Structure 1
Amino acid sequence: MAAVVFWGNLLSQIGIILSGAAVRLTASGLGCSTWPNCKPGQFTPELTMASGIHPFVEFGNRMLTGVLSVFAIALLLVTWRWLRHKGLGFRRLAWVPLIGTALQAMIGAFVVWLDLHPGLVSPHFLISPLLGAVSMVLLVRLYDGDGRMRLAVPARAMGVFVPLAVVGFVVLVLGTIVTGTGPHSGDSGDVTRIALNPMIAARMHALAVYAFCALLAVLLLVLHRARARREAVVAAWWLVVLTLAQGVIGYIQYYLGLPELVVFLHMIGAALFAASIAWVGARLVTWQEADTGADPDHGDAPLAHDSTEAR
């Protein structure tokens, strides 16, 4: 049961990014003109010739928030009821998907009330990849041991990963800025856009991606030279594959003038990007009991004191 809940939570966190992308790319952002009702005095949408499918696309995204909330609540219940042995830190982290989902719902209301202002649309998106990253850490933690958290790779690998994760988040932020300057405003009406040259925004985004790729190459070099644990190396290589695929799709959408389908594929990559970075980070540490005869330089240096808080 626990595996179903944890996997369901991760997939729903990724899924709502894709449903949000569908809302934006079909210009359905104001298909429901108010919140929480779809229309004044009307909770659910109605099919009309004037509005078409737009209210249903937007309302479907809202309903997926309900599904996500169910998984977040179930995650919390399972963690605090049946997984208490994994430590207080794990149980506290399990609160994040539910709190983040509630925050998303509140921001979503203001996004509608303020007619898709980009100053709110970008944060509304960025919370979801962060929740996906937390959900990935929880999933990895579920299958790992019950001991105190400790490094599973040389400390220098973690020294590379931290700036890698920071630059990865910068890539996502700049990606939202690129979108905010482009043609996909989320609605067919007159919607405020970010006052920045789209080409300049795209180049800033590309530079951040290049920096990320350089750090990822360094991380792989460190992991391979240290003969680090297989789980960390596999996760890092999957991140390489995903990053390269994202780069190819990004250039295709740029040179084709941002067609909706290609942009949607790029959004799928963005949804997986943050989760994959978190997967790598979670594999650089372990909660398995330490081998007393292991060499600390190969990943057995403790990260925290042996206490309930550290677990």
Structure 2
Amino acid sequence: MPNTWNPFELIARRWQPSAAFVRRAALATVVMSVVIVVTGGAVRLTQSGLGCSTWPKCTPDSLTPTAAMGINGLIEFGNRLLTYVLCAFIGVFIIAARARAPRRRSLTRLGWAMFWVVMGNAVWGGIVVLTGLNPYLVAAHFLLTTALLTVSVLAWRRAAEGDEAPRDLVSRPVRQLSGLLVLATGALTVLGTVVTGAGPHAGDAKKVHRIPVDWHEITQLHVDFVYIVVGLSVALWFTLRAVKAPAAPRRMVLELFGCIAVQGVIGYVQYFAGLPEIVVGLHMLVSTLVWICVLRIHLALRDRGPVPAGDGETSGPKAEVPAPAEAGATAPQPAAGASSR
């Protein structure tokens, strides 16, 4: 017997969102995750990391910033308020995924995973403030935000596909190559946090402890990993063409090339121009786009069938069945009444 006191159950009885609405709600969480990364960077680049001197209050005596704290207090407090906006978007996604029939537990679990990552990162951000912007904790704070972005991209993808067992659209070595690209890009992101922790933008005008490594050397290592990511991307592009992979992942690799090209230009400009704040902020923005592109490519190389049709809905149009990835392989056949991708 359904639980009449369950608010999600009550909403589901009165509202049946479309599959398109659930996908848009998932995309909104991706956009907000990017916004949080960029605004968090703005806090550091404007030296507002300690704009609020404590946590969870802004000052020991005030929940909100005071006039004496100036613009830095407003920037730091504004970034804290954006956490509530992000939670609202995640809440809409959870409610929409829960209300839609048939119920897909995989989507609601991803939504709750996003929520708990946000809650954990909020507490972690408080610890960052209480420890005076410890660079190692700041780096972990950014990586937790990257984890949120990863889960939101996965939810966005899952909202556009079914719940069948994953079926590779290319051979296993090609999937492994895309997985290697994900790992290399993840390592590049981690190195970026080390560069930030050792670089001049400490997040506050006062003397803040930095990671004790040579900033120029760690930056060079970061650049070396950029070349690795570029090389793997080029290799993946030619491999996908060689095995006649579906058009979607090949197009996504081209999008990745565009993001990498823009990021490369921004990277060299910020290095030779002395790290101007606005350029560093753009670098952070495009880094999130690169990560999104890499994740989408990897997820696009497998298929989980069509989105389950809700009440009064029909399955979408059949997608093109990809050509076999290997010589002599048999083209996969779509299940009866379902579309294949």
TM-score (norm 2): 0.82
Maintained 8 Å contact 2:128/2:137: yes
Aligned twin of 1:306: none
Aligned twin of 1:24: 44
- Pick aligned residue for 2:72 from 29, 54, 68: 54
Aligned twin of 1:100: 117
Residue 213 in structure 1 maps to residue 233 in structure 2: no
Aligned twin of 1:34: 54
Rounded to whole Å, the distance in 1 between the matches of 2:321 and 2:203 is 56
Aligned twin of 1:74: 92
Alignment of 1:168-187 (within 5 A): 168-187=185-204
Change in CA separation of 1:40 and 1:150 when aligned onto 2, cut-off 3 Å: same
Aligned twin of 1:258: 275
Maintained 8 Å contact 2:136/2:197: no
Change in CA separation of 1:293 and 1:229 when aligned onto 2, cut-off 3 Å: closer
Aligned twin of 2:142: 125
Rounded to whole Å, the distance in 1 between the matches of 2:137 and 2:58 is 19
Residue 43 in structure 1 maps to residue 63 in structure 2: yes
Rounded to whole Å, the distance in 2 between the matches of 1:280 and 1:257 is 34
Query: 1:28-86 deviations in whole A, cap 9, x for unaligned?
Result: 000000111111121111223xx320001001110111111112222222223316554
Rounded to whole Å, the distance in 2 between the matches of 1:257 and 1:29 is 21
Aligned twin of 1:189: 206
Rounded to whole Å, the distance in 2 between the matches of 1:292 and 1:57 is 50
Shift of 1:291: 9.3
Find runs of 4+ consecutive structure 1 residues off by over 4 angstroms. 83-86, 289-294, 298-301
Q: Which amino acid aligns with 2:28?
A: G
Query: 1:214-268 deviations in whole A, cap 9, x for unaligned?
Result: 1111111111111111111111111111112111111111111101111011011
Aligned twin of 1:198: 215
Give the 3-state SS of the residue equivalent to 1:193 in structure 2: coil
- Pick aligned residue for 2:262 from 233, 245, 266: 245
Aligned twin of 2:14: none
- Which structure has the higher relative contact order (CA within 8 Å, separation 6+)? 1
- Pick aligned residue for 2:159 from 132, 136, 142: 142
Rounded to whole Å, the distance in 2 between the matches of 1:135 and 1:299 is 34
Name the count of aligned residue pairs: 299
Rounded to whole Å, the distance in 2 between the matches of 1:68 and 1:110 is 20
Maintained 8 Å contact 2:246/2:322: no
TM-score (norm 1): 0.89
Rounded to whole Å, the distance in 1 between the matches of 2:263 and 2:83 is 26
Change in CA separation of 1:16 and 1:299 when aligned onto 2, cut-off 3 Å: farther
Which has the greater radius of gyration?
2
Moved more, 69-78 or 245-254: 69-78
Give the 3-state SS of the residue equivalent to 2:67 in structure 1: coil
